[in-house]
Amino acid sequence: MTDFTHFPSAKPAVIPVSEILPWAVFAGLLSLLAIYFIGAEQGAVALFQGEFIHEFVHDGRHLLGFPCH
């Protein structure tokens, strides 16, 4: 006896660009902010006084290859 099993074909869900765009912009801005604080803060361009931010991201700065001293 032969049994035939029918598996419906899976179709990918269509996500409109209007739903993805705000999240993509948000992720891009967060990425730029993180790169600024890790790569440029307390260097030639500093928005905050003191060295708290420099010390907070110091290891990440070396891990990503940014020189700091």
Q: Pick from 56, 52, 60, 54: which is nearest to 41 by CA?
A: 54
**pLDDT for the residue numbered 44:** 63
Calculate the CA dihedral of residues 45, 60, 34, 56 and round it to 10 degrees.
-70
Token duo for residue 64: 């990503």
Listed in sequence order, the residues at least 6 apart from 60 whose beta carbon sits closer than 8 Å to its beta carbon are 38
**pLDDT for the residue numbered 66:** 78
Residue 69 DSSP label: -
All structural domains of the chain with their residue ranges: 37-69
**pLDDT for the residue numbered 1:** 58
**pLDDT beneath 70, residues of the chain:** 1-2, 42-45, 68-69
